[in-house]
Amino acid sequence: MSSNAILFPLFAMALLTLFISMRLLQLRYRAVIQDGLNPRYFKHNRGAKPPEYVMRMEDHYTNTYEQPVLFYVVIILIYITSQADLVLLLMAWLYVATRILHAYIHIRYNKIIWRRNAFLLSTLVVFTLWGYLFVQLINQ
């Protein structure tokens, strides 16, 4: 396995964030053009009530910069410490899959229990990545 392979899940998360960003832009534009939201609302995100679909996407956009930061950091640490192995690679892809699932649930259906379960699974995976790396570094 190439040590660079551990970086591909990181790129996948960046692409997911890009997708969420572009979708948010599209929905904000729709809210202004089709639903009559005053564009000045976006200056400070105050002074109006945007449509629910915009608020949900804004919430998810914010979420893409919260917990995933732990993922980005651990992947970079795995890479620079040359600890990448198949187990870490599979866990990294599992994390990406859980975040895609979480995004899909949040954006499409927003079923709280499903969203919570996807979030908890992603949390478990990211901290397992940290724990596994910690054990590998101690055992060197």
What is the band of 25 on the pLDDT scale with cuts at 50, 70, 90? very high
Rounded distance between C-alpha atoms, residue 35 and residue 126, angstroms: 39
The pLDDT tens digits for 6-22 are 999 999 999 999 999 99
- What local confidence, expressed as pLDDT, does residue 44 receive? 76
- What local confidence, expressed as pLDDT, does residue 43 receive? 76
Closest CA to 115 of 97, 129, 101: 101
Burial of 67 (0-12, 13-18, 19+ CB in 10 A): middle
8 A C-beta contact, residue 48 and residue 37: yes
The yes-or-no verdict on residue 75 having pLDDT over 80 is yes
Q: What is the mean pLDDT of residues 29-56?
A: 85
Return the domain boundaries, the chain.
Answer: 3-138
Closest CA to 67 of 103, 31, 33: 103
The pLDDT tens digits for 107-124 are 998 999 999 999 999 999
Fold of 3-138: Four Helix Bundle (Hemerythrin (Met), subunit A) (1.20.120)
φ, ψ for residue 114, nearest 5 deg: -70, -45
- What local confidence, expressed as pLDDT, does residue 132 receive? 98
